[in-house]
Structure 1
Amino acid sequence: MPTFDGYSTSREVVDAFASQVQGRTIVITGAGQPSIGSSMATTLAHASPAHIIIASRTAAKVEPVLDQIRKINPVVKATFVQIDLGDHESVRSAANEILVATGSKIGLLINSAGNMAIKEYEVDKQGIETQFSANHVGHFLLTNLLMPALLVAAAEDQERGARIVNLTSLGYRISPVIFNDYNFSDGKTYDHWTAYGQAKTANILFAYGITARLKARGVAAFAAHPGSNIDTNLGSHLSMEDYGAIPAIAKRNTGTDFEFDEPRFKTFDQIGATPLAAALDPSFSSKGHSYVANSQVEEPDEIARDPRNVEKLWKLSEKLVGQEFSY
């Protein structure tokens, strides 16, 4: 079986695991152009999935990606579903639309939408801090609403099962989830990097929570750190000075030293490789951890894998979306 690293490309990963893609229904959030999601969506099209659904806020940003998918492989059905992850009514409506469009069977869900280090304190429609909302809480709700369709796919295709991939970041090391003050005292104690770290830690804890509950039923979840790329515009509002502040903030929040990983920057062709490996590599299910970096499973820091934090996050998330999910 091939192995990949921080320099592998998205296409190399998809070509190696094409049999994991063929004929499957795939849902990707975000994926407006240019983004990690759009890179993954167009690359996956080469391996002939049955259907790629992109759930995103703005149709105009997604239509060029859908057109590209159809151009790459006219056999692949490509669909847009409107969603605002910061509006739980919108998430519920989108989930219903996706379930109808997929015939309630989804082999792969990639939670790719998100934001990064928003400098001013903002809240979503429910009053939840916007980074925690867009990166984690909205995806927690969407994922669980789509779970019946993932379980159907896993039961019908036991060899491949079903997978969920959350996009996280090495930035999780900036902060744990602040369970007693996730909303930063309504903004009074807000720090944009701490909020980002909290959200990215939540992405990993959520993956552990899904796997603990559903691995025995064929659904595995991973949180993938794709690396950094300047083409996606995710951090276009940030300066090098902003990035330079991270180590001190991380030290203050966690007591540990923060170091950027290598390669420091990846090309647009490389940026989707790690989440695609998390989605497709069959060997990952037996590795015992839910964090993937540079296309390999790794053990994350304790703040992102402690079983007590996994369960605390699940309970907090249920409270924030107003619904319990037990399996």
Structure 2
Amino acid sequence: MGPFIIGSQMATSLAKAGPAHILIASRTLSRVQPVLDEIIRIDSTIKTTAIQVELTDHASVRRAANEILGATPTIDVLINSAGIMAVKDYTLDKQGIELQLSANHMGHFLLTNLLVPALEATPGRVVNLTSSGYLITPFRFDDYNFSDGAVYDLWTGYGQAKLANILFAWGLTKRLRSRGIVAAAAHPGYNGDTRLGSHLTWDDYAGIFPASKRNMGKEFVFEEPRFKTYTQIAATPLIAALDPEVEIKAPAFLQNSAITEPAEHACDEKSADRLWELSERLVGQDFEY
């Protein structure tokens, strides 16, 4: 299941609770319309909005943020669910950032910070979708761009980006809790029928294990149950978005529908601060909270 399918499952699940407004930002608006139609079928009183955004293009993110702020003065929950996985060939975004870090973290970092005025008005909660892939590697602060591709590894790139999702939740909560805004990172689980990994074979996944051994000095182990249905895969992010306990315990990491402690390298305050500083530099804007 790709991130959009997870996102659409979350949107239609949320619609059953009668929210005032569901706004979906997507790279491809044609894929959003069936989801909006389904929301209206569930509850015709819900306001729906679709906004186009390309998260790997910071100009697009800034335009989309302005459109979102124009469409809604308040945001109760922001769920950052877009992502890509295990890009085989080393690729840079428009800003010169490795593509997996760009799509999975950097675009979300910029968009979330630009939406703080609407989050602060509620105050709201931020949920970053992550993955147990974060266990593959520490963050490569001294070489996040893989020596311009010379030492690129697709799974290390994915692991670094998914680790960033968790560290960002820690950094955001530290800076914005005083304004009532907290963040969580949720690992939704896996579904074998995945668009996220449609370009991969099962043999490609075997590369996770040597990458983890090389980067972390330990064996990678998938959590159980590893595979989930469409409905189950939306459950953990929705708990992260709605459970009052998350607000109390934030920053929080959730998997298998429960708050749990992530590995040490994912909740290290110094790493969260370093990532925040690097992210500010790469988006060309300081967010002083």
Are residue 67 (structure 1) and residue 37 (structure 2) matched? yes
Give the Cα separation in 2 of the matches to 1:168 and 1:32.
13
**1:180 aligned to 114, 138, 142, which one?**
142
Counterpart of 1:211, as a letter, is T
Preserved contact between residue 150 and residue 219 of structure 1 (Cα < 8 Å): yes
Give the Cα separation in 2 of the matches to 1:101 and 1:238.
38
**2:207 aligned to 245, 262, 284, which one?**
245
Preserved contact between residue 24 and residue 32 of structure 2 (Cα < 8 Å): yes
1:293 is displaced (CA, Å) by 0.7
* Unpaired stretches in structure 1, ≥5 consecutive residues: 1-30, 155-161
Preserved contact between residue 175 and residue 198 of structure 1 (Cα < 8 Å): yes
Q: Deviations over 1:268-302 (max 9, x none)?
A: 11110000000000012233542111111111111
- Judged with a 3 Å threshold, the aligned counterparts in structure 2 of structure 1 residues 130 and 175 are, in CA distance, closer, same or farther, namely same
1:238-317, aligned counterparts within 5 Å?
A: 238-287=200-249, 289-317=251-279
1:1-327, aligned counterparts within 5 Å?
A: 35-102=5-72, 104-154=73-123, 162-287=124-249, 289-327=251-289
Q: Deviations over 1:35-88 (max 9, x none)?
A: 110110111000011111111111111111111111111111111101000100
How many residues are paired up?
289
Give the Cα separation in 1 of the matches to 2:48 and 2:2.
14
Task: Decide which moves more: 166-175 or 256-265.
Answer: 256-265
Which residue of structure 2 lines up, in the alignment, with residue 19 of structure 1? none
Counterpart of 2:200, as a letter, is L
Q: Give the 3-state SS of the residue equivalent to 2:121 in structure 1.
A: helix
Preserved contact between residue 23 and residue 49 of structure 2 (Cα < 8 Å): yes
Q: Give the 3-state SS of the residue equivalent to 2:230 in structure 1.
A: coil
Which residue of structure 2 lines up, in the alignment, with residue 20 of structure 1? none
Counterpart of 1:58, as a letter, is T
Report the RMSD for the aligned CA atoms in angstroms: 1.4
Give the Cα separation in 2 of the matches to 1:286 and 1:34.
29
Normalising by structure 2, report the TM-score.
0.97
Preserved contact between residue 173 and residue 251 of structure 2 (Cα < 8 Å): no
Give the Cα separation in 1 of the matches to 2:89 and 2:163.
20
Normalising by structure 1, report the TM-score.
0.86
* Unpaired stretches in structure 2, ≥5 consecutive residues: none
What percent of counterpart residues are identical? 61
Preserved contact between residue 35 and residue 232 of structure 1 (Cα < 8 Å): no
1:33 is displaced (CA, Å) by 8.8
Counterpart of 1:170, as a letter, is S
Preserved contact between residue 173 and residue 250 of structure 2 (Cα < 8 Å): no
Give the Cα separation in 2 of the matches to 1:127 and 1:96.
24
Counterpart of 2:101, as a letter, is F
Q: Deviations over 1:7-40 (max 9, x none)?
A: xxxxxxxxxxxxxxxxxxxxxxxx9996110110
